[in-house]
A and B are shown apart, each in its own frame.
Chain A
Amino acid sequence: MLKRKVQPYKKTLDGGWGWMVIFHFFLVNVFVMGMTKTFAIFFVVFQEEFEGTSEQTGWIGSIMSSLRFFAGPLVAVICDLTGEKTASSLGAFLVAGGYLISSWATSIPFLCVTMGFLPGLGSAFLYQVAAVVTTKYFKKRLALSTAIARSGMGLTFLLAPFTKVLIDLYDWTGALILLGAITLHLVPSSMLLRPTHTKSKSSSDIKDESSLSPSGPEAACRTETSCCNEIQELAIRDSITQKEGQPGITETVSQIISGWVADQNWIKKYHYHMSYLILCGITNLLAPLATTFPLLMTYTISFAVFSGGYLALILPVLVDLSGNSTVHSFLGLASFFAGMAVLSGPPLAGWLYDYTQTYTGSFYFSGACYLLSSVSLFFVPLAERRKNSLTTKKEDCSQVRA
Chain B
Amino acid sequence: MGCCSSSGGWCMKVVLGQLTPGRAETPAVLADEAPVVTAGHPNDPQPVEVRGADVSMGTWQSPDRSSILGVRRLKKPAAPFTSLPVQEEITTTKYSNLSLESHNISVTAAPYTSLPVQEEMMTKYSNLSLESHSISMTENSNMPVEKNITLERPSNVELTCQFTSGDLNSVNVTWKKGDTLLEDNYLVNATGSILYTQYRVAVIDSKQMGSYSCFFGKKKQQKGTFNLKVPEVNGKTKPLITYMGDSVVLMCKCQDCLPLNWTWYGGNGSVQVPIGVPVNDKHVISRKHANETSLKITQLSEDDQGTYWCHAIFELGESEGHVELVVLSYLVPLKAFCAIVAEVVLLVTIILLFEMYTQKKKKPSDDGKEFEQGEELKLDDSNGIENSGPRHRKNESMGQ
Using a CB–CB distance below 8 Å, which chain A residues touch chain B? 1-17, 83, 168-171, 173-174, 177-178, 181-182, 184-185, 187-188, 191-192, 194-197, 199, 203
A-B contacts besides A4-B399, A14-B378, A197-B396, 8 pairs, CB < 8 Å: A1-B372, A6-B384, A7-B383, A11-B381, A12-B380, A178-B336, A191-B351, A192-B351
| Given known contacts A83-B400, A199-B395, A203-B394, A17 and B381 CB-to-CB distance under 8 angstroms | no
Q: Which 7 A-B pairs have the closest CB atoms?
A: A8-B395, A174-B333, A181-B340, A188-B347, A171-B241, A197-B399, A16-B377
Let me know if B395 and A13 touch, CB within 8 A.
no
* Residue on A nearest B336 in the bound complex, by CB: A178
Q: How far is the CA of A170 from the CA of B359 in the complex (A)?
A: 44
Let me know if A7 and B396 touch, CB within 8 A.
no
- What are 28 A-to-B residue pairs whose CB atoms are below 8 Å? A1-B372, A2-B362, A2-B363, A2-B372, A4-B372, A6-B372, A7-B383, A7-B384, A8-B394, A9-B385, A9-B386, A10-B379, A13-B377, A169-B241, A170-B241, A173-B333, A177-B337, A178-B336, A181-B341, A185-B344, A185-B347, A188-B347, A188-B348, A191-B355, A194-B373, A195-B399, A195-B400, A196-B399
Tell me, rounded to whole Å, the shortest Cβ–Cβ distance linking A103 to chain B. 9
Asked whether any CB of chain A lies closer than 8 Å to the CB of B391, the reply is yes
Q: How far is the CA of A162 from the CA of B65 in the complex (A)?
A: 69
* Residue on A nearest B383 in the bound complex, by CB: A7
Let me know if A174 and B373 touch, CB within 8 A.
no
Let me know if B373 and A13 touch, CB within 8 A.
yes
Residues of B within 8 A of A8 (CB): 386, 391-392, 394-396, 399
Residues of A within 8 A of B370 (CB): 6
Q: How far is the CA of A14 from the CA of B373 in the complex (A)?
A: 13
Tell me, rounded to whole Å, the shortest Cβ–Cβ distance linking A100 to chain B. 9
Q: Which of B362, B371, B383, B394 has the most CB of A within 10 A?
A: B371
Tell me, rounded to whole Å, the shortest Cβ–Cβ distance linking B332 to chain A. 7
Q: How far is the CA of A185 from the CA of B340 in the complex (A)?
A: 9
Asked whether any CB of chain A lies closer than 8 Å to the CB of B352, the reply is yes
Tell me, rounded to whole Å, the shortest Cβ–Cβ distance linking A379 to chain B. 31
Residue among A1, A7, A171 making CB contact with B400, cutoff 8 Å? A1
Tell me, rounded to whole Å, the shortest Cβ–Cβ distance linking A27 to chain B. 12
Let me know if A181 and B337 touch, CB within 8 A.
yes
Residue among B351, B371, B377 making CB contact with A188, cutoff 8 Å? B351
* Residue on B nearest A169 in the bound complex, by CB: B241
Q: How far is the CA of A9 from the CA of B394 in the complex (A)?
A: 12
Residues of B within 8 A of A9 (CB): 381, 385-386
Q: How far is the CA of A330 from the CA of B341 in the complex (A)?
A: 36
Asked whether any CB of chain A lies closer than 8 Å to the CB of B328, the reply is yes
Residues of B within 8 A of A173 (CB): 243, 333
Let me know if A2 and B400 touch, CB within 8 A.
no
Let me know if A171 and B396 touch, CB within 8 A.
no
Let me know if A184 and B344 touch, CB within 8 A.
yes
Asked whether any CB of chain A lies closer than 8 Å to the CB of B116, the reply is no
Residue among A5, A83, A177, A196 making CB contact with B373, cutoff 8 Å? A196
Q: How far is the CA of A56 from the CA of B60 in the complex (A)?
A: 69
Question: How many chain B residues touch A (Cβ–Cβ < 8 Å)?
Answer: 48
Asked whether any CB of chain A lies closer than 8 Å to the CB of B281, the reply is no
Q: How far is the CA of A83 from the CA of B398 in the complex (A)?
A: 10
Asked whether any CB of chain A lies closer than 8 Å to the CB of B387, the reply is yes
Q: How far is the CA of A2 from the CA of B360 in the complex (A)?
A: 10
Asked whether any CB of chain A lies closer than 8 Å to the CB of B366, the reply is yes
Q: How far is the CA of A168 from the CA of B384 in the complex (A)?
A: 60
Residues of B within 8 A of A83 (CB): 400
Asked whether any CB of chain A lies closer than 8 Å to the CB of B119, the reply is no
Asked whether any CB of chain A lies closer than 8 Å to the CB of B242, the reply is yes
Q: How far is the CA of A349 from the CA of B383 in the complex (A)?
A: 55
Residues of B within 8 A of A14 (CB): 378, 380
Asked whether any CB of chain A lies closer than 8 Å to the CB of B89, the reply is no
Beta-carbon contacts under 8 Å, B258-313 to A: none
Residues of B within 8 A of A174 (CB): 241, 328, 332-333, 336
Q: Mark B349-361, 1 if CB is under 8 A from A, else 0.
A: 0111001000100
* Residue on B nearest A5 in the bound complex, by CB: B368
Let me know if B395 and A170 touch, CB within 8 A.
no
Q: How far is the CA of A17 from the CA of B387 in the complex (A)?
A: 24
Q: How far is the CA of A17 from the CA of B337 in the complex (A)?
A: 31
Let me know if B337 and A5 touch, CB within 8 A.
no
Residues of A within 8 A of B387 (CB): 5, 7
Residues of A within 8 A of B398 (CB): 197, 199
* Residue on A nearest B366 in the bound complex, by CB: A5
Q: How far is the CA of A10 from the CA of B380 in the complex (A)?
A: 8
Residues of B within 8 A of A170 (CB): 241, 328, 332-333, 336
Residue among B351, B368, B377 making CB contact with A4, cutoff 8 Å? B368
| Given known contacts A168-B238, A188-B347, A188-B348, A203 and B391 CB-to-CB distance under 8 angstroms | yes
Residue among A13, A188, A195 making CB contact with B344, cutoff 8 Å? A188
| Given known contacts A4-B368, A188-B351, A16 and B373 CB-to-CB distance under 8 angstroms | yes
Let me know if A13 and B380 touch, CB within 8 A.
yes
Residues of B within 8 A of A12 (CB): 380
Q: Mark B195-207, 1 if CB is under 8 A from A, else 0.
A: 0000000000000
Let me know if B368 and A7 touch, CB within 8 A.
yes
Asked whether any CB of chain A lies closer than 8 Å to the CB of B376, the reply is yes
Residue among A2, A17, A178 making CB contact with B377, cutoff 8 Å? A17
* Residue on A nearest B385 in the bound complex, by CB: A7
* Residue on A nearest B370 in the bound complex, by CB: A6
Residues of A within 8 A of B243 (CB): 171, 173
Q: How far is the CA of A196 from the CA of B328 in the complex (A)?
A: 49
Q: How far is the CA of A1 from the CA of B387 in the complex (A)?
A: 20
* Residue on B nearest A172 in the bound complex, by CB: B241
Residue among A171, A184, A197 making CB contact with B341, cutoff 8 Å? A184
Residues of A within 8 A of B359 (CB): 2
Q: How far is the CA of A221 from the CA of B209 in the complex (A)?
A: 72
Q: How far is the CA of A188 from the CA of B353 in the complex (A)?
A: 12
Asked whether any CB of chain A lies closer than 8 Å to the CB of B374, the reply is yes
Residues of B within 8 A of A1 (CB): 372, 400
Q: How far is the CA of A194 from the CA of B358 in the complex (A)?
A: 13
